[in-house]
Amino acid sequence: MQLAFYGAARTVTGSQYLLSTDYGRILIDCGMFQGSGHMRQQNRMDFHFDPAGIDYMLLTHAHIDHSGLLPRLVAEGFSGKIFTTEPTADLCEIMLLDSAHIQEEDAEYDLRKWQKHRRVGPPPQPLYTTADVQPTLDLMRPVAYDEVLQVAPGLRVRFRDAGHILGSAIIELWVGEGDEQTKIVFSGDVGRSDQPLLRDPADLEDADYLLTESTYGNRLHVSADEHEAEFARIVENTIRRRGHLIIPAFAVGRTQDVLYELNLLAGQGRIRHVPVYLDSPLAIKATQIVRSHRDCFDAEALALLAKGDKPTDFAGLHFTQSVAESKAINTIQGPFIVISASGMCTAGRIRHHLRNHLPHKDDTVLLIGFQAAGTLGRLLQDGVKDVKLFGEWYPVAAQVRTLSGFSAHADLRQLLDWVANIKGIKSVFVTHGEEDTALDFTATLHRKLGLSSYAPEAQFIADLDTEDAFGASREEAEEIWQRPPSEAELAL
Ligand SMILES: [Zn+2]
């Protein structure tokens, strides 16, 4: 049995793992690489296998860095079943269509450049198109949380709640029959405990092999109380200045978290007469899908509902669907709040709002998600004085604030607690973290929990039938364990 790491290896995007067994070949996640041009280039490289030769696909959650290459996989011959939770399938419909639109637009832009520049090389093609999305959705087979599903003889899976975004799952996979079973756990993205709306990540009992994400594997979040208080302060200070609060947010997850916090403030009468605009068609659709899945809510959200308080809705909240409605926001007198996409300010309506509000000192731009290097969001976070939008320069006079408490990922303490519960682990593979973070977490896992841990590089193949799954990389693993502890580890 072999496990190959084709993405999210010492980086945070492109999740893709292939497990080859005597009972079939299973692909776990098929994510897009995101970030710099060099990263994105990897989306166009040939798959490391023949997509038609894959028997089953397991999908942990709908985020594009886990699901975004599925339409390409299907277009290139994969025709097996895609097992995932029902909310993930619902979210994939809007996310993959949105992604396909972006691919088509980018290809059109590249084609115009290609025509202008003497047509060197073949004409640019989209990575995939909207026509590739429906055949992908048709292969999806919804699986309920916590139910053991016999996929094929010798292959059983169970999806457990990951508490990361709606529908997200940690996947348990049993390979073999009778006494000869090996259990492999794929963490997907592990959610933060006490996140609004969603349940905490499920505690797992055991595993032979564990793949765990490490996005925040060397950082600690502020407490939920501190976070709530800081958010309220930023909102109220902006209102007091009669300014405008502009929040760039990812459509799925972060947007609903912000609505949840604003609903609490609305309930306390702290944002009275301040309209809130959700100004992103994708985020509006995502919010509607989240609202339709009360079965995924945690006890707190259900308690609000039982009192008649909808957790992501309140008086003064407006969905602005059309471009005309979006533009009309700027004619409003007095303070208001706008939540818009994209989360890193790289595209979408948020750029129009930034153009209108960055030059005003009484306005606030609140960054709440991870801002990748090279994005407009990151430039703002780093404190640039001017930004270029739509071909013109604008001064940054507005206050730019960052809140990390909206993160949808477990921090070091929560990840360690989650792993510590799992008994019988022979080896841990650390994935889905920037290189330094993944290596730090690998060392922490060894020091704190005595685990045999390793952060594989891309294309690493682990042979799970041998005594040592790290093989020739054993020495490197032991070197990683010698890394000095991260500040977060020292602060535990
Ligand atoms: Zn995710």
Q: What is the pLDDT of residues 364-404, one digit of tens each?
A: 999 998 787 778 999 999 999 999 999 999 999 999 999 98
Residue 27 has pLDDT above 80, yes or no: yes
CB 460 within 8 A of CB 5: yes
CA distances from 141 to 79, 144, 291 (A): 13, 10, 22
CA distance 222 to 244: 26
> How far away, in angstroms, is 301 Cα from ligand 1 center?
21
Distance from Cα 246 to the centre of ligand 1, integer Å: 24
Q: What was the pLDDT predicted at 404?
A: 82
Distance CA 363, CA 366 (A): 10
Residue 15: which of 52, 54, 63, 72 has the closest Cα? 63
pLDDT above 90 covers a percentage of the chain that reads 88
**DSSP tag of 130:** G
What's the gap in Å between 368 CA and the centre of ligand 1?
15
Local confidence band at 346 (pLDDT 50, 70, 90 cut-offs): confident
Instruction: Please tell me the distance between residue 280's alpha carbon and the centre of ligand 1 in angstroms.
Output: 20
Distance (angstroms) between ligand 1 centre and the Cα of 61 equals 7
Q: Which of 169-178, 256-265, 297-306, 362-371 has the lowest mean pLDDT?
A: 362-371
Ion ligand 1 residue ranges (Cβ < 5 Å): 63, 189
Task: Please report, for the chain, how many H helices and E strands are present, in that order.
Answer: 16, 22
Q: If you average pLDDT over residues 451-474, what whole number do you get?
A: 96
pLDDT band at 305 (very low <50, low <70, confident <90, very high): very high
| CB-facing half-sphere around the CA of 442: CA atoms within 13 A | 31
Mean pLDDT of the 19-45 span: 92
Q: What mean pLDDT do residues 192-210 have?
A: 95
What's the pLDDT at 199?
Answer: 97
Q: How many angstroms is it from 65 CA to the middle of ligand 1?
A: 7
Going by pLDDT thresholds of 50, 70 and 90, the confidence category of residue 435 is very high
> Does residue 342 have a cis peptide bond before it, meaning omega lies within 30 degrees of 0?
yes
Residue 328 phi/psi, 5-degree rounding, is -65, -20
DSSP for 299-337, written as a single string: HHHHHHHHTT--TT--TTEEE--SHHHHHHGGG--S-EE
So what's the pLDDT on residue 179? 86
pLDDT of residue 372: 76
Q: pLDDT > 70: what percent of the chain?
A: 100
CA 444 – CA 218 distance, rounded (Å): 9
Question: What is d(CA 436, CA 307) in angstroms, rounded to the nearest whole number?
Answer: 46
CA of 66 to the centre of ligand 1 (A): 7
- The secondary element (H helix, E strand) that includes residue 277 is strand 276-278
Alpha carbon of 408 to ligand 1 centroid (Å): 8
pLDDT category of residue 52 using cuts at 50, 70 and 90: very high
DSSP bridge partners of 392: 389
Is residue 39's pLDDT more than 90? no
Q: 114-151: per-residue pLDDT in tens?
A: 988 877 888 889 999 999 999 999 999 999 999 999 99
Closest C-alpha to 172, from 2, 26, 5? 26
Span from the CA of 62 to the centroid of ligand 1 (angstroms): 7
What is the CB neighbour count within 10 angstroms for residue 224? Answer: 14
Mean pLDDT of 330-350: 92
Q: Is the pLDDT of residue 37 over 80?
A: no
> What 3-state class would DSSP assign to 27?
strand
This prediction's pTM: 0.94
Has residue 412 got a pLDDT over 80? Answer: yes
Task: Spell out the domains of the chain, with CATH numbers in brackets.
Answer: 2-219+408-490 (3.60.15.10), 224-402 (3.40.50.10890)
**How far apart are the CA of 164 and the centre of ligand 1, in A?**
7
What is the per-residue pLDDT across 148-165, written as a single tens digit (0 to 9) for each? 999 999 999 999 999 999
CA of 167 to the centre of ligand 1 (A): 11
Task: Please give the residue that has the higher pLDDT: either 370 or 223.
Answer: 223
Q: How far is the CA of 406 from the centre of ligand 1 (A)?
A: 13
Interval between CA 188 and ligand 1 midpoint (Å): 7
Tell me how far CA of residue 326 lies from CA of 279, 286, 363, in angstroms. 6, 18, 18
E-strand stretches of 59-186: 81-84, 140-142, 148-152, 155-161, 169-175, 182-186
Residue 89 has pLDDT above 90, yes or no: yes
The confidence score (pLDDT) of residue 35 equals 74
Average pLDDT over residues 277-290: 97
Q: What are phi and psi of 31, to 5 degrees?
A: -90, 160
